A and B are shown apart, each in its own frame.
Chain A
Amino acid sequence: MDQKYDWELTDRLHTEHGRGDPFAAAVRATRMPMVVTDPEQDDNPIVFVNEAFQLMTGYSREECIGRNCRFLQGPETDPKTILKIRKAVGNGEDVSTDILNYRKDGTSFWNALYLSPVRGGNGKILFFFASQLDVTQRIDAQQKVVDQKEQVEHEVKVRTADLEASVEAQALLLHEVDHRVKNNLSVIGSLLRMQIRDADDPNVRKALRSTMERVDAMAAVHRRLYQSDDVRYFEISSYAANIVQDAISASRYKDVFLHSNVQTVRLPSELATSFGLLLNEILLHLFDPYTPIKSVSLRSSIDKENIRVVISNEVVEKTPQDAISALSLKLISRLSRQLGATVDWDHSLNGLTATLTIPMSPL
């Protein structure tokens, strides 16, 4: 026999010669399945398998020797992996890959294959040495992770769709409620206006008109709040500018000039109605129907400490101003307290100035 196969004798003779070759003994006894093939023979057949390989595959040594390793492949084995191994063998290179192999009983297992050429002194390939490892558990675990990820993603998708549907339902509900609130405010305003027309007593009319304007102020706040993109905040400067402009448009004095110099100032929306009502009380006084107004000035500003809104009127001639009604004063006082605000009035020769100061709440 060729000297190349001397090592094999130890196997055939079992342990007798093996004792003298610790490497051969180790290969036989290791729990790692191992195979040696001979590329010099036709179709690169197996020339050696160890015990562990026989245990793993269920094939006996006799069933393996002389066959090409491809008998371990089966219907589900990936052709790309087979090609990769064939290429490495053809080029005389190392290869390591996971391949689906089949046992004698037909069951499959994932085989972590490491295959490398064994070269002689002249560089010629004498053998291919392959070690195997059943890694079915690892591959299954990986697959499980992939499956779980897919399942979680699916569940997330389902939940997201549920949430989106719920958000849409909420938006629809909010829209419906908003619509009803607006309509109810419209009807309340309408009822008050009818009552005003129906009243004979000028004092009753005046009182009803004040009430109507308070309701209108609330309606305007609601209208603006739900027209804006962010219902959490209420922009007071454009609101004030609009309300003052409307008051001028509706007043009996034509050509009232509005000087306006405003900064964007936002309040949390839960304070919006109080602010709207407070501003309305101030305007009720500034736009007293018997005050001949020449011009109106509106300024708003915000700094680290305060929000400030200053409204003043310039009158054509100084006329005795009506005292602010007791109810109006009480409303101003209560609404100011809620906002932590102060309202200062300044009567000058040319007109009246109201300064509304709201301290910035500590965050």
Chain B
Amino acid sequence: MKRPTAPLLILIVEDEPLIAMDMEMMVEDAGHNVVAEATSLYDVQGLGVDLRPDIAFVDIQLAENTSGLDVSKLIQQRWPDTVIVFVTANPKIIPEDFGGAHGVIPKPLSHNGFIAAMKYLEQGVCGPPPTLQQPNSFTASPAVAATWHD
């Protein structure tokens, strides 16, 4: 399988506009491209199939009463190679197996924490397993943890 290379294509699913804007800027500071932003499940459904993001950052509580857990399922169907990372203030709501998603970054985001997670994810996507130590700001799903760091 051909691994993606930097700059990576990033999808941001976040209903708080300022946080989405900030994440976009941090992603771009880290040298990657935001290919789309969505605020709800319906937004994501409306995205082109050819988008193929490498990483999707997905909030759980989304606009129009939709859930990031459903967005995660949709992404897995549509773009099976996309790495899905929940970004949420309520990590306890995530099921134990992450419902097929790859990890979580708990809110509130710290600048250092997000940048460290971004670097780690870049390694994980472009050349797994990552050589960096897993940052505290990022928790991998059990399935990813088994392949990325042992």
Contact = CB atoms under 8 A, between A and B. Distances in A.
A245 interface: yes
Interface stretch (B33-41, B44-52, B75-83, B104-112): B104-112
Contacts of A249: 112, 115-116, 119-120, 132-133, 135
A356 interface: no
A92 interface: no
A175 B90 CA distance: 9
A250 B16 contact: no
Given A183-B108, A193-B22, 20 more contacts: A183-B16, A183-B19, A189-B22, A189-B110, A189-B111, A190-B21, A190-B22, A194-B18, A194-B21, A213-B112, A216-B108, A216-B113, A217-B110, A246-B110, A246-B116, A246-B137, A249-B112, A249-B119, A249-B120, A250-B115
B74 interface: no
B85 to A, nearest CB: 15
A222 B111 contact: no
Number of chain A interface residues as a range: 20 to 34
B107 A223 contact: yes
Contacts of B111: 189, 193, 212-213, 216, 250
A288 to B, nearest CB: 15
Contact of A219 (B18, B108, B119): B108
A17 interface: no
A186 B107 CA distance: 7
A77 B120 CA distance: 83
Nearest to A190: B22
Contacts of B132: 249
A220 B112 CA distance: 11
A191 interface: yes
A78 B19 CA distance: 77
A15 interface: no
15 contacts: A175-B90, A182-B89, A183-B108, A187-B16, A189-B22, A190-B23, A197-B25, A197-B29, A219-B109, A220-B110, A220-B113, A227-B92, A245-B133, A246-B116, A249-B132
A118 interface: no
Interface of B is mostly: helix
A179 interface: yes
Nearest to B109: A186
Nearest to A219: B108
Interface of A is mostly: helix
B28 to A, nearest CB: 10
B92 to A, nearest CB: 8
B133 to A, nearest CB: 8
Given A183-B16, A190-B21, A227 B107 contact: no
Contacts of A219: 108-110
A246 B25 contact: no
A128 B137 CA distance: 90
A185 B108 contact: yes
B110 A216 contact: yes
B26 interface: yes
Interface in B111-150: 111-113, 115-116, 119-120, 132-133, 135-137
